[in-house]
Structure 1
Amino acid sequence: MNLIIETERLLLRELLLSDADAMFKMDSNPNVHKYLWNKPTETIEETQKIIEFVRNQYIQNNIGRFAMISKETNEFIGWAGLKFNTETLNGKTNFYDIGYRLDEPFWEKGYASEASFAWMNYGFNTMKIKTMTASAQAGNVASNRILQKIGLLLTEQYTEDGILWNWYELENKNT
């Protein structure tokens, strides 16, 4: 994909295998995975496989998660983007969701919201997605706050592996 989305502080570009070291640093941090089933990445090879999986989504679905690069430092600080889900989640399949993950030093600086606003704009105005979705563990206060800040509405809750999740949706008013 040759897509690059630019915000005030971020470049959002496709994930590359050269991002593996920085992504592994982020995903091996147990704090980053507190609300992701507490399963931090254990090997760099695991991270490389994840990047390859995401790159395949670019080909299959023409969208996926993108690297978040700080314009100020040119460093990988996390990822954000849209994903077309073909697996069943909360009883739903074939839907677009918005997601993000940041390395811990970049939490609480507004990067996830900034990237998510850009992706919402792209998804609704360029891709003409009818409904944007997202989910977050009910106990993840920060992530739930971000999803509400970008305009998604809590529509239901569901349980997966004994964990309560919030399900969010927003209809595209331009379609």
Structure 2
Amino acid sequence: MPLILTPRLVLRRWREADIAPISAISSDPEVMRWIGDGSVHDGVEQTRSTVAGWEHGWETEGFGLFAVEVRATGELAGFTGLAVPHYLPEVLPAVEIGWRLGRSFWGQGLATEAARAALDFGFTDRGLQRIVSIAQVGNDASERIMNKLGMCVERATLDPYCGRAIRVHALNAPAAPAAPTTADRSP
């Protein structure tokens, strides 16, 4: 069961105690503004079903969305992690990195810190060669995070479910260091 520690965060699998806090995050119109058609999630039962789907991703894909916990307080800040973007068939096969944090956690660099750890997990532990991230046009905060992660815009398109304009960013796995040649070896 993957557990990742960063200087300020714990990235871990989901617990029952996370349902109420992630439900509150996903029912905030400002948080959901740039997700899908902007609709908020409808309560704890919908959230419980959504989290079960995220957990199913871990079982079927070997990766998924991590619960993001603040180390100093134990508070659930939101999520980050990896998923297959089935909703956007034109980019498949692909793995997407995404994040969602509660408003009280915005502007502190936590999403970038968590996403860097999730990218490293995808490239290093899961051997992924390429990871994408998808943002609605106008979601400048998420696109700044993508830029900080080294991702570059690959294409612009429309979200087929809600018709909103989106940009797909991509990042390839870091190249492995080349094996030393005879000329590189010390005598």
- TM-score range, shorter-chain basis? over 0.9
What SS does the aligned partner of 1:155 have? strand
Higher mean C-alpha deviation, range 91-100 or range 146-155: 91-100
For the pair 1:23 / 2:4, whether they are aligned, the reply is no
User: What's 1:165 paired with?
Assistant: 166
1:13-64 deviation per Cα after TM superposition (whole angstroms, max 9, x unaligned): 0122221000011001111111112110112100000011111111111110
In structure 2, runs of 5+ residues without a counterpart are 177-187
Identity %: 27
Higher strand share: 1
Moved over 4 A (4+): none
Q: TM-score, structure 2 length as denominator?
A: 0.88
Q: Secondary structure at the match of 1:133?
A: strand
- 1:106 Cα shift? 0.5
Q: Is the 8 A contact 1:90 1:158 kept in 2?
A: no
- Match of residue 44 from structure 2: 44
CA offsets per residue over residues 96-149 of structure 1, 9 Å max, x none?
A: 111100001101110000001111111112211111101001100100000111
What's the RMSD between the two structures over aligned residues?
1.3
CA deviation string 1:41-100 (max 9, x = no partner): 112100000011111111111110010000111010100011134x25151223111110
- The residue number in structure 2 matching 1:72 is 72
Indicate conservation of the 8 Å contact 1:137/1:165, yes or no: yes
Aligned with 1:31: secondary structure? helix
Structure with larger Rg: 2
Structure 2: distance between partners of 1:47 and 1:122: 25
CA contact (8 A) 1:155 1:169 kept: yes
